Amino acid sequence: MTRDTPTTPQTFGTLPDGRAVTAHTLTAPSGLSLCVLDLGATVQSLHVPGPAGSTTNVALGFPDAGGYAEHADTFMGAVVGRYANRIGGARFRLDGEVVELGANEGGNTLHGGPDGFHRRTWQVLEARADALVLELVSPDGDQGFPGELTLRASYAVADDGVVLDLEARTDAPTVVGPASHAYFNLAGEGSGTVDDHLLTVEADRYLPVGPGSLPLGGPAEVAGTPFDFTAPAVLGDRVRAAHPQVAAVRGVDHSFHLRGAGLRRAARVEDPASGRWMELHTDQPALQVYTGNSLDAVAIGTGGRRYRQGDGIALEPQRHPDSPNRPELSDPVLRPGELYRSRTQWRFGHR
């Protein structure tokens, strides 16, 4: 098979409303393979090669469509939107007008609202052996957001990793901030917690949160707190630290203000036992670090084991939470004639 050869979608089951879900598997010469669903443009599995030619699935996921329908509130592997993270009070003001949204986390809007993009069937525009392009058209008023938005997600695999490009256009002023909500466990999907993983985040500041996990104010220094990941830190030590911000969310679920601009390294995760590591590169201003605090041993993953608290880590490149109400944090507004773009790269290696 050449790189230009179209792939054949595989049946992945049916949702309760009768929609069929299909899966596309992309492969690189190294043996790295990525399975993406048309439901939510979701990363269902990601097998990365090891030193002896074997591969390990390092992405959490569900074995069939029913799992994604039943546990949609985990946002497992999906591209979430229209706006990732939280919008306080399920409302914001745009060009002097109040925009009312659908609330789905208390009084707030989380990851796009009750019927976010993770629940939608995306159209496959292009499917090749090493690349997949999907598109979703979100109509004006979708979950309360103004403007018709067209969002395109392009996945491409290479020997050492995966690139995800997101592009969006609108026909009326709106706010945009989609993000990948992939969960990783570098020891292997279903192998237990990521407590022993080492995490580095290229950020000197983070956003403390208050009620509803909304930002309390501006960014605070990470120095002297459990949120200092400027040098590799053991995750288990940090998610159990005696700190009010850790207690508030039962771990880490915070936005980090990344150093620099443009495409650069945002984070590195390493599993000391296997020697496997992942670097995340992004051009976004912030990275939400989420340590799987709400995984509650109900959902059964692809390997047949129940996902428990801390069994995976999600690193979500995005705008800061509640930026539609807090434009000083980051600018989420997209206008007609403008093109929203973001790039996420996951690079893998083995020491």
* Candidates 47, 181, 197, 254; catalytic one: 181
Residue type, 45: S
Cα(141)–Cα(24) distance, rounded to whole angstroms? 31
Instruction: Work out the end-to-end distance of the chain between its first and last CA atoms, rounded to an integer number of angstroms.
Output: 31
The verdict on whether 135 is a catalytic residue reads no
CB 35 within 8 A of CB 24: yes
Q: Output DSSP code: residue 65.
A: H
Q: Output DSSP code: residue 295.
A: -
Paired with 267 in beta bridges are: 201, 280
Q: Where are the alpha helices (DSSP H) in the chain?
A: 65-70, 235-239, 244-249
> How many CB atoms within 10 Å of residue 17?
7
The verdict on whether 181 is a catalytic residue reads yes
Give which of 114, 136, 108 is closest to 324, Cα–Cα: 108
* Candidates 71, 257, 316, 320; catalytic one: 316
Segments of 42-85 assigned E as strands: 42-49, 55-57, 79-80
Cα(271)–Cα(199) distance, rounded to whole angstroms? 9
Q: Which residue's structure tokens are 């591969």?
A: 55
Tell me the catalytic residues.
181, 316
